[in-house]
Amino acid sequence: MSIFINHETRVLVQGLTGREGRFHSEQMIAYGTQVVGGVTPGKGGTTELGVPMFDTVGQARAATGADASIIFVPPAGAADAILEAIDAGMPLVICITEGVPTQDMVRVYEVLRHTETRLIGPNCPGVITPGGCKMGIMPGHIFKPGIVGMVSRSGTLTYELAKNLSDRALGQSTVVGIGGDPIIGTAFIDVMKAFENDPATEICVLAGEIGGSDEETAAAYIKTMTKPVIGFISGRTAPPGKRMGHAGAIVSGNKGTAQAKVDALEAAGVKVAATTDEVGELVEKTLREKGRLPAAAAR
């Protein structure tokens, strides 16, 4: 088991013929992801990378039975692409695009909140269920199948943490990058709820960063969880008022500080690691204490 995606997920790529879309579609197919179609307006009826192309998401979903869509459409068209996928009834939509105007996301969210669609992103690396399905831009080989569920607002930091876990023979059930923008479709709390209900996940890692209060909101739920959670917060030394790369990574006044997030998580019983290496150490230690350390990791 896993959350959101698995080996049966039938994936549609919106913007498959763009530079990024093509490169990452090839990579996803090579990983074993079932890419069943692509959407590029005007390319309907052709074939790219061995998969059928469609003009609209509605047509593509009807013809292929796709149940998840990944978006590589440039920023100016990304919000519209998300709305099209929602309108087609796509259960899962992952938007990789960075640079979507925030007010476009305000309108998208207003529609999204009245539907059953789960949107992940934008400005995210995607989701991977190691060994089953990769819907994203992450290098697949650093992830290993296992029992750690991980969620993060950042891309490369996720890779750093995943490699650290994989090197310790601590594989992952699913790894979710929720994105670094101020307005995103799926919050930490949504992913934590899914991990709590996923039989394959035995321990969770939450990697947050400065800005907003998503980590604090998740902390309130984590308090009620049965599974242990290890935390990590980046931007502890970032000065207030400076946007640190991600559109959402900014301490405004006294809001969104790393310390407030660390405090909230610790109050919820989360062990918060001070460095990336310590995340792996804490996962290992916690599993050992519970007698749940995988045999490969115990060596």
Identify whether the C-beta of residue 188 lies closer than 8 Å to the C-beta of residue 214: yes
Of these, 157, 170, 175, 265, which contacts other proteins (CB under 8 A)?
Answer: 157
243 belongs to the binding site for other proteins (CB under 8 A):
yes
d(CA 243, CA 223): 30
One residue of 62, 63, 76, 267 binding other proteins per CB under 8 A: 76
Among this protein's residues, is 246 annotated catalytic?
Answer: yes
110 binds other proteins (CB under 8 A): yes
Q: By CB under 8 A, tell whether 236 contacts other proteins.
A: yes
Give the helix/strand (H/E) hosting 106: helix 102-112
**Binding of residue 58 to other proteins (CB under 8 A):** no
Residues 6 or more apart from 238 whose CB is under 8 A from it? 210, 244, 249, 251, 258
Per CB under 8 A, 33 contacts other proteins? no
- Sole binder of other proteins in the list 131, 212, 228, 280 (CB under 8 A): 212
Nearer of residues 127 and 147 to other proteins, judged by Cβ: 127
Instruction: Report if residue 106 touches other proteins, rule: CB under 8 A.
Output: yes
101 binds other proteins (CB under 8 A): yes
The bridge status of strand 172-177 relative to strand 145-152 is parallel
Quick one: the chain helix, strand, coil %, rounded to 5?
Answer: 35, 25, 40
User: How far is it, in rounded angstroms, from Cα 182 to Cα 177?
Assistant: 14
Check residue 276 for interaction with other proteins (CB under 8 A): yes
Q: Is residue 182 at the binding interface for other proteins, with CB under 8 A as the rule?
A: yes
**Residue 167 in the binding site for other proteins (CB under 8 A):** no
Size of the site for other proteins (CB under 8 A): 56
Smaller CB separation from other proteins, 11 or 78: 78
Sheet containing 133-136: order of strands: 133-136, 126-129, 172-177, 145-152, 203-209, 229-234, 271-273
Alpha-carbon distance 299 to 297, whole Å? 6
Q: How far is the CB of 259 from other proteins (least distance, A)?
A: 12
105 binds other proteins, rule: CB under 8 A: yes
Closest approach of other proteins to the CB of residue 54, in Å:
26
CA distance 62 to 89: 10
The helix or strand, by DSSP H or E, that contains position 126, with its residue range, turns out to be: strand 126-129
- What is the contact surface with other proteins in residues (CB under 8 A)? 75-76, 99-103, 105-107, 109-110, 125, 137-139, 142, 152-160, 163, 180, 182-183, 207, 209-210, 212-214, 217, 234-239, 242-249, 253, 274-277
Q: Which residues are catalytic?
A: 246
